[in-house]
Amino acid sequence: MQERTIENINKKIKERNDNIYTAEEFKKLIEDDDAPAFDEVDVVTTGTCGVMSGTSVVFNIIVAEQGSFMRAKNIYMNGVPGNVGPCPNERLGSVDLILNGTSKSLENPSYGGGFLFKDILEGKEIDIMVETLEGDIIESTTSIDDIQTAQLFGTRMAFKNYTAFTNPSSNPVSSIFCGIPLEGPCTGLTFSGCGALNPLQNDSNQNVIKFGAKILLNGAEGLVIGNGTRSAPEKPNLMLTGNLKDMDSSYIGGFKTGEGGEVYDTVAVPIPVLNEEIYNNLLIENRDIPLTVSDIDGRFPITEMTYEDAWGDYDLRPRLKRTKCDKCNNCSVEDICPTNAIYDKKIDLYRCFGCGLCAHYCRNKAIKMRTGSVNLEIGGKEYDIPIVCRQSDVLRANKLSLKLKKMIRNNEFSL
């Protein structure tokens, strides 16, 4: 087996004699039967973006003058509760806390940690309320420049393989796996995962993606610190970390579901092609990757499709026909948009996730988006099930993969 070293590849990059591809570029060449050979590929930058529930941030925030209170008992950021500690910060006027991306505001269950993280990165002023051990209430505000520490940890991120869901029953089922309660029987399908772009799909044996590997996490340099919770050899995922304050708000945010606010993240990982085994793993395509379809109520597997069925040649963003939108005085999709991208009869493409819910539930069909459908046999009956909600975003994954490629080429990210 031919072998290369990181030093060999770094030397080629420094000499501007490298061959670096994004996963999107590489898969397109495979599809066109024009894949470069092993010795013509140095690095492939892979990526994924999706709802990643295991996201938390460890904060240190100054909330009052030193000595003004003994220690905090409870803390809320924009109404979202954090867990005080582990360090008590006695009489320092500051609070250590851990806030989960899935924590929900006490006032608005649709607003949670994911939306808060995005608001922080956008430079918005954040309301702080602290209940002290003595029973006092301290209210203050903070912003990204004033926050001392904001280290993001992902306890399970970038799964190699996810699950699709449909509802075989006749009653709507509310779940974190869809932006709204999923109706049935088998009238819609929701799924996650970026398929052949996903880092762990391209390094299934984790020859490269292991403890200490450098990555981009929401646009900032981060690290793999191990495999995540619930990780298994047949279904691995990653534990990741990075500095929230260095991240780009366009890659992270909140995602409303039938069970309240969730959080999405974007991850890009370089795969240096050190040997032919690593190269061969990169040849995987969407049609090669099975996607289990489960009952959204009990999460029991009921059939199978592929990521080619899920992504195909479909649209990644919706289009709004304003003349049809103007006829409606009561928008049916503003409230259900998971990322709050639809308002004032327009679509904010910076916030849009490309989930597809708007196109399926707009009453006047003012929003168009081809998200595809899949023909499945369930319970002895054949269904043509439209894909109504994507909880992953190929567009963001490709964008971060391209950014990583450029950073490597410009010697801004070393392998």
The CB density around residue 133, as the number of other CB atoms within 10 Å, is 14
Q: How many CA atoms lie within 13 A of 211 on its CB side?
A: 1
CB 258 within 8 A of CB 192: no
DSSP string for 353-394: ----HHHHH-TT--EE----EEEEEETTEEEEEEEEEESB-H
**What band does 411 get if pLDDT is binned at 50, 70 and 90?**
very high
Contacts of residue 81, defined as CB under 8 A and 6 or more positions apart, other chains included, come to 74, 75, 99, 103, 106
Query: What are 225-256's pLDDT values in tens digits?
Result: 999 999 999 999 999 999 999 999 999 999 99
Over residues 374-380, mean pLDDT: 94
Query: What are 65-111's pLDDT values in tens digits?
Result: 999 999 999 999 999 999 999 888 999 999 999 999 999 999 888 89
- Tell me the C-alpha to C-alpha distance, in Å, between residue 235 and each of 145, 156, 200, 265, 301: 39, 11, 9, 19, 15
**What band does 162 get if pLDDT is binned at 50, 70 and 90?**
very high
Read off the DSSP letter of residue 3.
B
343 has pLDDT over 70: yes
Per-residue confidence (pLDDT) for residue 22, from 0 to 100: 98
| pTM of this structure | 0.96
Q: How far is CA 94 from the centre of its chain?
A: 31
Question: What's the rounded Cα separation, in Å, for the pair 87 and 92?
Answer: 11
Query: What are 55-70's pLDDT values in tens digits?
Result: 999 999 999 999 999 9
Per-residue confidence (pLDDT) for residue 44, from 0 to 100: 98
CB 59 within 8 A of CB 143: no
- From the list 163, 110, 158, the residue with the least C-alpha distance to 289 is 163
Question: What's the rounded Cα separation, in Å, for the pair 309 and 146?
Answer: 47
Per-residue confidence (pLDDT) for residue 248, from 0 to 100: 98
**What band does 323 get if pLDDT is binned at 50, 70 and 90?**
confident
* Beta-bridge mates of residue 98: 58, 83
Per-residue confidence (pLDDT) for residue 244, from 0 to 100: 98
CB 398 within 8 A of CB 197: yes
Phi, psi of 28 (to 5 degrees): -65, -40
Question: What's the rounded Cα separation, in Å, for the pair 395 and 377?
Answer: 30
Q: Which two tokens stand for residue 54?
A: 């295991």
Per-residue confidence (pLDDT) for residue 115, from 0 to 100: 98
Per-residue confidence (pLDDT) for residue 1, from 0 to 100: 59
Mean pLDDT of the chain, nearest integer: 95
How far separated are the first and last CA of the chain, in Å rounded? 22
* Domain segments of the chain as ranges: 55-153
- Tell me the C-alpha to C-alpha distance, in Å, between residue 19 and each of 14, 44, 72, 310: 12, 9, 53, 30
Query: What are 265-307's pLDDT values in tens digits?
Result: 999 999 999 999 999 999 999 999 999 999 999 899 999 999 9
Per-residue confidence (pLDDT) for residue 391, from 0 to 100: 97
